[in-house]
């Protein structure tokens, strides 16, 4: 009997640590999102003014060499405007309907396959018994696509990616307990994510790639949070797993 009690206590501690980790992740994500949205709003207004002034100046100038400068200001303003829009994320509220998560995943698989040069192997491993969920199809496609594109970049388009679904029972997300959740794993065999980077990857503007904006995973986490879910990541060289948890029904406090 003593042995059983000890095992039960370990289970409890493990569960408590997991809940604590998820709460910290959600809090950090929310804080980062608010900061970035505030910053993006502050930048958008003067940016519009700069672009407008450059356009007016462009109309007054007749020297092609001088127009070249105003065109650079306009083009760079537009590029920054696009970045600000990405930082602000989708501005529409989720339009949730009953859907099969595998329809979302097959669409992502199709999109990634079309984008890749043909060297990529992308397989599925689905559990067909997963019940339908309530979600916004477009937003879920965007979230899973962002994660999968990340996996493609990590493997430099030449690796193996598996999209796997399973039922996950008894999940606590943001202090709510769910009896059932759909667990979607996006697995790649790339070089993995450094341990010190792993705690930061869902922050906006954090990226391991020099040309990346680091917004893809932050936006994905935000979209999954809007569905009461959460994304977690575990990584080692040759095996990186992004796990998306989406509750199947309403949770209890």
For position 156, what pLDDT does the model report? Answer: 86
Tokens at residue 251, please?
């949770």
pTM over 0.75, yes/no: no
| Domain-wise residue ranges, the chain | 1-88, 97-247
d(CA 127, CA 167): 8
Architecture category of domain 97-247 in CATH: 2-Layer Sandwich (3.30)
Pairing outcome for strands 239-247 and 97-99? unpaired
pLDDT interval class at 2 (50, 70, 90): very low
Q: For 152-174, write each residue's pLDDT tens digit.
A: 988 888 889 999 999 999 888 87
* Most confident of the ranges 5-14, 61-70, 108-117: 61-70
Is the pLDDT reported for residue 30 higher than 80? no
CB neighbours of residue 20 within 10 Å: 10
Taking the alpha carbons at both ends of the chain, their separation in whole angstroms is 31
């Amino acid at each position: 009997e003593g042995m059983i009690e000890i095992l039960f206590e370990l289970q409890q501690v493990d569960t408590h640590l997991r809940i604590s980790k998820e709460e910290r992740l959600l809090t950090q994500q929310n804080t980062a999102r608010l900061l970035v949205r505030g910053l993006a709003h502050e930048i958008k207004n003067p940016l519009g003014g700069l672009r407008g002034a450059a356009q007016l100046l462009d109309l007054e100038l007749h020297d092609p060499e001088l127009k070249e400068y105003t065109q650079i200001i306009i083009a760079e303003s537009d590029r920054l405007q696009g970045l600000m829009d990405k930082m602000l994320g989708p501005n529409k509220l989720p339009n949730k309907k009953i859907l099969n998560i595998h329809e979302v995943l097959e669409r992502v698989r199709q999109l990634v396959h079309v984008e890749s040069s043909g060297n990529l192997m992308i397989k599925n491993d689905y559990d067909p018994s997963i019940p339908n969920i309530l979600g916004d199809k477009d937003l879920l496609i965007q979230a899973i696509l962002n994660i999968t594109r990340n996996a493609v970049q990590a493997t430099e388009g030449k690796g193996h990616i598996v999209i796997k679904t399973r039922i996950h029972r008894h999940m606590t997300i943001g202090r709510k307990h769910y009896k059932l959740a759909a667990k979607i794993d996006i697995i790649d065999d790339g070089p993995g994510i450094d341990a010190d980077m792993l705690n930061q990857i869902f922050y906006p503007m954090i990226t391991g790639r020099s040309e990346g904006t680091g917004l893809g995973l932050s936006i994905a986490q935000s979209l999954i949070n809007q569905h009461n879910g959460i994304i977690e990541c575990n990584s080692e060289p040759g095996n990186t797993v992004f796990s998306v948890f989406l509750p199947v029904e309403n949770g209890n406090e």
